[in-house]
C-alpha cells in the first residue's frame, strides 16, 4: 500500500515484483487458510449432484437466495431452513416447503456441501429477483449489486445485508457473527416465510431452464475418485499418479484451471463456455471455480453426459473414473485447491510447476481480487490467459513486464487476447509446447 502512495514507488519492475509477492501472500496465505478453515468448520466437499440456472426457483415454495462469498451466513440459513419447525411454518402459510438457492460464490460454498441448487453467477443476480418469485435475498460480502436495493422494492422481495463491511442502501441490516449466526438465521428464514403471502402471482415468471451438475471436487475427493480406478492405471492409491500417467501417455493432453468473474464488457458466460467446449474436445480436462464454475454448470458441462462433447481420450477417462469433463472445485477462495492439486502433481511427477502441461485462464475477469488471484497463479509458475485487457495497456513497458518480462522472474506470464477462439487456440498451443519440452 505504501508503494502505491503518491511520491513513493515509480519503477514498473518493482511494482510487478511486489504485486506478485502480494499475490503469493494473498493466495498461499489468506486464500489457502480460508479454504482449509472452511473445510474444517463446514466439512470437506465430496461429489454431490445439484442443478443450475434460474429454473431451480420453485413457484410453490418459499424461495430464499443466498448471495456473496462468506459461507458462515449461508451455512446457518441452510441448516435452519431444513428444521422441521421452519418447514411446518412454511406449510402453514400455504407453501410446500423452503427452497434455498444460491448466487455467486456463496452458492458454490453451499452447493458443494449440501447440493443446494445454483440460481446463477455474477451477472444473473438481478434476474433472480426479476422472476418475482424470491421471498428474500440475503447477502454477505463481495460482488453484490447496489441495484438490488431499489430492484427488490419493485417486487415483494426482502433484501437483507449481514456484514458491516457491506452495508447496502435499500437493505435491512442484520449483523451475523459466529456467536449469533443461528439466531440470525432463524430471523432471516422466518422473515422469508412471513413474506410468502405478499407474493404477487401476476409478476411471477420462472424460466424453465436448468441443468444437472456434479459438484464438490475437492483435492481429497479427486484422489478418492482416482483411487476407485487405480488398477486401471497404476497401483499407487492416495496419489495423483493415475492422472500423471494418462497425461504422460497422451490420453489427456493437459489441464486448464478456468476461473473468474463475468464482465459487463463482454457477453456473459460466452467466453467461459466456448473455451471449455473447445478444450474438452481436445482432450484437455478442466477444473473450475467461482462464476466460471456456475457458467459451466448452467451450460450442462458439469453433467456426466457432457463426456459426449469430449475427445476420445478425455471421454475414456470420464467413463473409467465416473466424472464429468469439467470439475467443480469451489468458490473464488478455493482456487487454492487448484494450486494445491497442481503443485502436488508436479512434486509426484518430479518436475517443476512451470513444466507441467497446465495453464490458468480468466476469460471474463473484472474485480480487484481477480488481479490478486491472477498474480498468485502466475507467481506460482503457471501461464495465465486473460480474455479482458488489464488496465495497464497504456504502458508498453508494463505490458512487456507482465507478459514476457515476468518469465525471467517466475517462469510464467500473462497471455492476453479478447477473442475467445484465439485465446483457446493459444492455450492449446501452450499446452502442446510444454508436452514437447517434456518429450511426452
Half-sphere exposure of 67 (CA within 13 A, CB side): 29
Q: Per the structure block, which three cell numbers stand in for 107?
A: 452458492
Q: Per the structure block, which three cell numbers stand in for 84?
A: 422441521
- Looking at 172, 203, 234, the residue that finishes a domain is 203
CB 74 within 8 A of CB 102: yes
Residue written as grid cell 511427477: 349
Q: Kindly report the pTM of this predicted structure.
A: 0.96
Whether residue 290 is found in the same domain as residue 339? yes
Whether residue 368 is found in the same domain as residue 229? yes
pLDDT at 232: 54
- 315 by Cβ neighbours in 10 Å (0-12 / 13-18 / 19+) ranks as middle
Whether residue 293 is found in the same domain as residue 384? yes
| Domain at 421, CATH number | 3.40.50.2030
Beta strands in 289-396, from DSSP E residues, in sequence order = 326-328, 358-362, 384-386
Go through 133-169 and write b for each residue having 16 or more CB atoms within 10 A of its CB, e for each that does not.
Answer: bbbbbbbbbbbbeeebeebbeebbbbbbbbbeebebe
Whether residue 294 is found in the same domain as residue 404? yes
Cα 53–chain centre separation: 15
- Residues 187, 182: Cα–Cα separation, whole Å: 9
pLDDT along the chain (440 residues), means of 10: 92 95 95 95 97 98 97 96 98 98 97 98 97 98 97 98 97 96 97 98 97 98 88 74 96 97 95 98 98 98 98 97 97 95 98 98 95 96 97 95 96 97 98 98
- Residues 37, 41: Cα–Cα separation, whole Å: 6
How many helices (H) and strands (E) in the chain? 19, 14
- Give bridge partners of residue 212 from the DSSP assignment: 51
- Residues 283, 253: Cα–Cα separation, whole Å: 6
Residue 78's domain comprises 54-203
- Residues 340, 240: Cα–Cα separation, whole Å: 12
CB 33 within 8 A of CB 186: no
pLDDT at 100: 98
For residue 210, is it within any domain? no
- Residues 28, 242: Cα–Cα separation, whole Å: 26
- Looking at 203, 228, 247, the residue that finishes a domain is 203
Amino acid at each position: 500500500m505504501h508503494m502505491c502512495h503518491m511520491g513513493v514507488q515509480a519503477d514498473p519492475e518493482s511494482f510487478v515484483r511486489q504485486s506478485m509477492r502480494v499475490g503469493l501472500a494473498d493466495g498461499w496465505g489468506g486464500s489457502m487458510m480460508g479454504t482449509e478453515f472452511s473445510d474444517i468448520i463446514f466439512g470437506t466437499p465430496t461429489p454431490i449432484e445439484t442443478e443450475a440456472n434460474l429454473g431451480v426457483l420453485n413457484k410453490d415454495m418459499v424461495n430464499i437466495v443466498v448471495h456473496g462469498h462468506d459461507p458462515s451466513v449461508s451455512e446457518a440459513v441452510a441448516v435452519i431452513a431444513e428444521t422441521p419447525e421452519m418447514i411446518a411454518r412454511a406449510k402453514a402459510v400455504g407453501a410446500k416447503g423452503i427452497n434455498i438457492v444460491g448466487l455467486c460464490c456463496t452458492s458454490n460454498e453451499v452447493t458443494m456441501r449440501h447440493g443446494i441448487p445454483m440460481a446463477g453467477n455474477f451477472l444473473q443476480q438481478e434476474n433472480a429477483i426479476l422472476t418475482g418469485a424470491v421471498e428474500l435475498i440475503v447477502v454477505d460480502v463481495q460482488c453484490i449489486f447496489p441495484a438490488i436495493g431499489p430492484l427488490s422494492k419493485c417486487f415483494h422481495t426482502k433484501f437483507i445485508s449481514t456484514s458491516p463491511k457491506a452495508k447496502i442502501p435499500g437493505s435491512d441490516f442484520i449483523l451475523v457473527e459466529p456467536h449469533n449466526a443461528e439466531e440470525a438465521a432463524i430471523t432471516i428464514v422466518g422473515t422469508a416465510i412471513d413474506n410468502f403471502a405478499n407474493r404477487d402471482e401476476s409478476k411471477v415468471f420462472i424460466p424453465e431452464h436448468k441443468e444437472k451438475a456434479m459438484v464438490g471436487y475437492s483435492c481429497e475427493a479427486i484422489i478418492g475418485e482416482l483411487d476407485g480406478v487405480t488398477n486401471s492405471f497404476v497401483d499407487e492409491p492416495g496419489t495423483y499418479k493415475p492422472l500423471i500417467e494418462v497425461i504422460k501417455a497422451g490420453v489427456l493432453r493437459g489441464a486448464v484451471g478456468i476461473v473468474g468473474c463475468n464482465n459487463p464488457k463482454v457477453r456473459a458466460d460466452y467466453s467461459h463456455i466456448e473455451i471449455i467446449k473447445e478444450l474438452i474436445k481436445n482432450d484437455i480436462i478442466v477444473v473450475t471455480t467461482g462464476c466460471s464454475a456456475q457458467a459451466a454448470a448452467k451450460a450442462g458441462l458439469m453433467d456426466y453426459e457432457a463426456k459426449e462433447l469430449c475427445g476420445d481420450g478425455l471421454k475414456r477417462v470420464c467413463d473409467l473414473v465416473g466424472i464429468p469433463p469439467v470439475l467443480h472445485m469451489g468458490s473464488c477462495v478455493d482456487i487454492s485447491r487448484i494450486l494445491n492439486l497442481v503443485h502436488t502433481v508436479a512434486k509426484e511427477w518430479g518436475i517443476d510447476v512451470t513444466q507441467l502441461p497446465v495453464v490458468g485462464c480468466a476469460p471474463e475477469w473484472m474485480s480487484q481480487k481477480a488481479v490478486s488471484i491472477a498474480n498468485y497463479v502466475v507467481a506460482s509458475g503457471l501461464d495465465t490467459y486473460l480474455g479482458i485487457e488489464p488496465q495497464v495497456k497504456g504502458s508498453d513497458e508494463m505490458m512487456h513486464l507482465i507478459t514476457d518480462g515476468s518469465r525471467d522472474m517466475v517462469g510464467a506470464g500473462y497471455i492476453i487476447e479478447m477473442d475467445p477462439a484465439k485465446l483457446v487456440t493459444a492455450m492449446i498451443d501452450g499446452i502442446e509446447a510444454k508436452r514437447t519440452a517434456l518429450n511426452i
